[in-house]
Amino acid sequence: MLAVRDRRDKSAFAQLFDHYAPRLKGFIMRGGTSSAQAEEIVQDVMLSVWHKAAQFDPHQSQVSGWIYRIARNRQIDIQRKESRPVPEEIKQPEFTELDSSQIVALEQEASKLRNAISGLKPSQRDVIEQAYLGELTHQEIQEQTGLPLGTIKSRIRLGLEKLRHDLKSMRET
DSSP 39-78: HHHHHHHHHHHHHTGGG--TTT--HHHHHHHHHHHHHHHH
Sequence ranges of the domains in the chain? 2-83, 116-172
Amino acid at 38: A
* pLDDT above 80 for 90: no
Looking at residue 95, what is its pLDDT? 67
pTM of the model: 0.48
Q: Check for a shared fold between 2-83 and 116-172.
A: no
Q: Categorize the per-residue pLDDT at 99 as very low, low, confident or very high, splitting at 50, 70 and 90.
A: confident
pLDDT confidence band for 150 (50 / 70 / 90): very high
CATH number of 2-83: 1.10.1740.10
Among 64, 31, 30, CA closest to 45: 64
| Correct CATH for 116-172 of 2.40.160.20, 3.40.50.720, 3.90.76.10, 1.10.10.10 | 1.10.10.10
